[in-house]
Amino acid sequence: MVDRVVERTDGTTSERVTETASAPGSTTVIERRGGGGAGLLIGLAVLVLVVIGALYLINQNNRENVKTDAITQAAKDVGGAAKDVGGAAKDAAKKVD
């Protein structure tokens, strides 16, 4: 036996009031539901963590590329030095003969 039901919402919180007058001193039931923005706040925090993680991984990849380039350049320099030493050894051998 519901005599009156009133529902209101303001976009964030919804409220439903049910009044029943079946007994003396009628009963009023008020149900309130509201998000309060907690879900939005959690979603934003997760998004920020994902962006920070992506930046970290990109930065790690760039560091690895820099290391690889430095090692490659060092190997080229050692190879060039070995050629110079080899050329000097040939010149010295020619002078000995």
In angstroms, the CA 59 to CA 54 distance is 9
Task: Using alpha carbons, list the distances in angstroms from residue 53 to 41, 47, 48, 57.
Answer: 18, 10, 9, 6
Instruction: Tell me what the mean pLDDT of segment 68-89 comes to.
Output: 86
- Asked if residue 27 has pLDDT above 70, the reply is no
Q: Spell out the residues 6+ positions from residue 37 whose beta carbon is closer than 8 angstroms to its own.
A: 12
Residue with tokens 């190879």: 79
On the 0-12 / 13-18 / 19+ scale of CB atoms within 10 A, 20 is middle
H or E stretch covering 19: strand 13-20
Helix (H, G, I), strand (E, B) or coil at 24: coil
pTM, whole model, 2 decimals? Answer: 0.42
Instruction: Tell me what the mean pLDDT of segment 10-26 comes to.
Output: 69
